Chain A
Amino acid sequence: MTEAPTSLRMIPIRLLAHGRAGDKGNRLNISVIAFGPQHFDHLKTHVTEELCQRAFASSPPSGITRYVLPKISAMNFVLEDVLDGGVNVNLKLDRHGKTLSYALLDMLIPAPPGWSFQDGNQLT
């Protein structure tokens, strides 16, 4: 593939945001928190429920809800029925789904306009 123009260059979410997964019963939540407020609107546009659905295409949740918290530049994704019955009966290796935050954070989104790799992963 030849190099795409800057605005079309795809980068993983984790260069712009961090997050954590938590479980309750058969529900999982994953936070996506901008490293700085300057990229929050861009993240809000691209890190959508549909993108989250694609991140979990191999074992799809029965529902995904996104909550937006602009004051702290964060989003919270709630995924239904991804833990095969919940932490205590799940036969998967990671019964809590704790590692799954990185399945979302590794998803590719367009780089923000004017963004360079040196800007990435910086706390402000």
Chain B
Amino acid sequence: MGDVHIAAGAGFSNDRRELGEIAAQSLTLFEGHRYLIFECLAERTLALAQSDDGQRRQIERAIGYLEACINTCILNNIKIISNFGGSAPKEVAEAISAFLKQHNLRRKIGYVLGDELPVNDTEHDGRAISRNAYIGANGIVEALDAGADIVVTGRVADPSLVVGAVAFEHEVKWIDWNRLAQATLAGHLIECATQVCGGYFADTGAKQVPGLTRLGAPVASVARGHDKLKISKPLGGGLLTTATVTEQLLYEIHDPARYLTPDVVMDVSGVAMRQTSKNEVTLTGCVGHARPDWLKTLTCVDEGWIGEGEISYMGDTCLDRAQMARSILQQRLENIAPSAAPHFDIIGSMYGEAKNNAEHPRDVRLRMAVASHDREQVQALLDEVEALYLNGPAGGGGIRLNISARTATVAGAVRQNEAVSRGYLLEDTP
């Protein structure tokens, strides 16, 4: 019957590991149902997880996050929900189970399946790597209902991690659009963890942030039956004000009246907020509309390789020499690979070049980026940057070359009934 308090211990796949423990400690200060979430999936994380190496890394990450906070969570009956299951929620759940057994810790582990869709070989020239639907909170509720203390998911929509906890504890009906929207807002505000409480905010003047070396974690508090939503930051550095909350409220939002999720269409166009205490903001006025009858999908497509090469120049004439070097590369690439379409930046002069600024920069860095399905060709084009050491304009240095996999993400849609998600306990695997 009590309030639900949800803290965020990670906002991306490689966030600070200490944050989970700060988040768990913060939750011990609240009475009611306590949940810790880790949001770990960016758009292409699932593509990166397809290889054996990627699979191993996603397990290591999940365990790394748990290692830092599991004792505090067990002692204080804090449940954990995370999409750190990535491309293989059940396998990650099994690895967590083995890790806990090894440390004589007992927790019931649940997982959610149903986001993975078959890859269509005829599309994208057979280069599709993975295809997933953004599923909603229902699988999380099923796993919690079955008794899970830790719920491991794959591609659940980020705010649905919080919707799952609230819907389970407050028995929210799947057509109670305003309650679902409020829980979605709670999830949206804390899913990037510190970004709502002083992270990614600091600047000079009025945007100074204390304690940036050890930021605290945000806690969302949802009370049953009224539309007030509290966001607070009880411990650690940083700050939580109407300014930090407003930046996160609009982060990655397009039409504020229609934020589409698998659970609900959230409408924040009438939201109001008030600083109700130091590091605590209360929001009202979020409403919901019927969920879309389709789910967003993301297909990861192998687009070969990106090569990046950089070289620095110093001194009064550095911009002229960087432009000379760029011109050399442009002409040589035209002969070697006419279709290469290289992209150039002169870092340090982004304004100077565009605005014809009289104040010229004192040091700049020329960057060339190329893409191709042929890795050897990418390497050959980067060799041209390296050759600037002896063959380019005077005083070039600090060359760095890098090749990385290029994975495109293509958005699509399926009807809700084409990607049915379910929650399970590890014991009763289907």
Contacts and interface: CB of A to CB of B under 8 A. Distances in A.
Interface of A: 14, 18-20, 22-25, 27, 29, 31, 33, 35, 58, 65, 67, 69, 71-72, 74, 76, 78, 84-89, 91-93, 120-123
Chain B interface, >50% SS class: mixed
Nearest to A85: B408
Contact of B406 (A71, A89, A93): A89
A91 B205 contact: no
A85 B43 CA distance: 14
A68 B246 CA distance: 13
Contact of A93 (B250, B272, B345): B345
Q: Which of B249, B270, B272, B371 has the most CB of A within 10 A?
A: B249
A86 B410 CA distance: 9
Contact of B285 (A71, A91, A121): A71
Contacts of B347: 93
Contacts of B370: 91
A57 B269 CA distance: 29
B343 A120 contact: no
Nearest to B306: A91
8 contacts: A20-B200, A27-B254, A69-B256, A78-B254, A88-B406, A88-B409, A89-B406, A122-B206
B207 interface: yes
Nearest to B370: A91
Contacts of B358: none
B105 interface: no
Nearest to B368: A91
A122 B208 CA distance: 11
Contacts of B345: 92-93
Contact of A33 (B204, B247, B303, B411): B247
Contacts of B256: 67, 69, 76
B380 to A, nearest CB: 17
Contacts of B354: 58
